[in-house]
Structure 1
Amino acid sequence: NPLFVEGQPSDYTNMAMEFCNNFEQERQRTESFVQLIKDLDLLDTRDAVFTPRNPDGTPGEPQKLAEYYAVSEDKLRALPAEKLAELRDNGALGQIYAHLVSLLGWDRLIALAFLRQAQPTTVN
């Protein structure tokens, strides 16, 4: 794909520049959101843990896979009503709830990753 056509940016170049601009806007928005929840002291450190099954089906030794930050539901509930209303009105509360819902998938995601890793790979 040419970058320029007749001395002007091509459609391809314009789309690439638009993508970069959109990406930067979303990065800034994410940075602002993270700063907001940090300023409100809503984050806690959590561990991603996987408990494999032994050959006999009993739970194996839990394995810590990662440490990450997540919004604390207790800290969120402890916010004053005015602050919750402000978060609702500026759209941050919806993002916080989306984050909390996404955390429910950790266990499933880890289990799927281990299952895929355990499957033999075939070469054609």
Structure 2
Amino acid sequence: MSESINGAATTAPVLPPLYRSLEPVTPERHGKLRLRDAGLGFARTLSAVPITAEEIPVAARTLTIVFAAQAPHLPVALTSLVPEKNNFIDAGGAWKIGAYVPAYLRRYPFFLLRVAETSQDLALCVDPTAPQLSAEQGEPMFADDGKLAPQLERAFAFTRSVEEAMVRTRTMTTRLAELGLLKPAQVQFERLGKPLRIDGFFAVDRPSLAALPAEQLTELRDKGWLEVIYAHMVSLGGLPELAAALPPA
């Protein structure tokens, strides 16, 4: 698999969360643009943020991690139990102090897309509507000779690393599903004197994990997935805190 930063036409995907549009990054189209720090206000309507398996052991300290109900059951970090609301972003666009910021948000506004359906080559793309792009403020994306400026080189490398981690995460969740570990889950507790049930997500099933043969447990351990699983299960303890931010019924 190779990456490019040219004007090759890319396949037209279903846009991922946050992205309103995507276009290949080229010096002809973006040579005059700059990258600036625009805060995280762009994610204030994202109540579930995609996250990679490698982030979960650290992210689970401050974020609740669940698995999507739809296959391949990729993990997400919940930022709210209300659709299109993010409790981790304040009015000024700053992330909650001390909470982990998922790489998915740190990668934005960049994304990698295949240059064609049958190709393994990837092109660096950008959301042209992103507030990080400016004609006047920030660091240039390209040098005067049309080559990548250091800021864009770093963004390209980070975007590639996130994409590779996402691929490894999909491999993990596919295997967990094959082992029968990912199942519909629900959590019930009391809030304001009334029972509250939270469902609609998948989680690792503790009895199924405990029943795995030693050989399969060893496989999970050797691949580093046991640490991910336990961190995810511990993070579910954050659901009551998210529920506490719900408006009164």
Q: 1:38-117 alignment to 2 at 5 Å?
A: 38-49=177-188, 51-53=190-192, 59-60=193-194, 62-111=195-244, 113-114=245-246, 117=247
Distance 2:199 2:211 in 1: 27
Distance 1:100 1:48 in 2: 12
Residues 65 and 72 of structure 1, relative CA distance in 2, 3 Å threshold: closer
TM-score by length of 2: 0.40
Equivalence for 2:149: 10
- Following superposition, the deviation at residue 65 of structure 1 comes to 4.4
Distance 2:175 2:183 in 1: 14
- Following superposition, the deviation at residue 70 of structure 1 comes to 0.3
Distance 1:100 1:75 in 2: 13
The count of corresponding residues between Structure 1 and Structure 2 is: 109
Unaligned runs of 5+ in 2: 1-138
- Following superposition, the deviation at residue 108 of structure 1 comes to 2.3
TM-score by length of 1: 0.77
What SS is found at the alignment partner of 1:108? helix
Unaligned runs of 5+ in 1: 54-58, 119-124
Percent of aligned positions that are identical: 36
Which has the higher Rg, Structure 1 or Structure 2?
Answer: 1
Structure 1: which 4+ aligned runs deviate by more than 2 Å?
A: 47-52, 62-66
How much is the aligned-residue C-alpha RMSD, in angstroms?
Answer: 1.8
Higher helix share: 1
Q: Is the 8 A contact 1:50 1:63 kept in 2?
A: yes
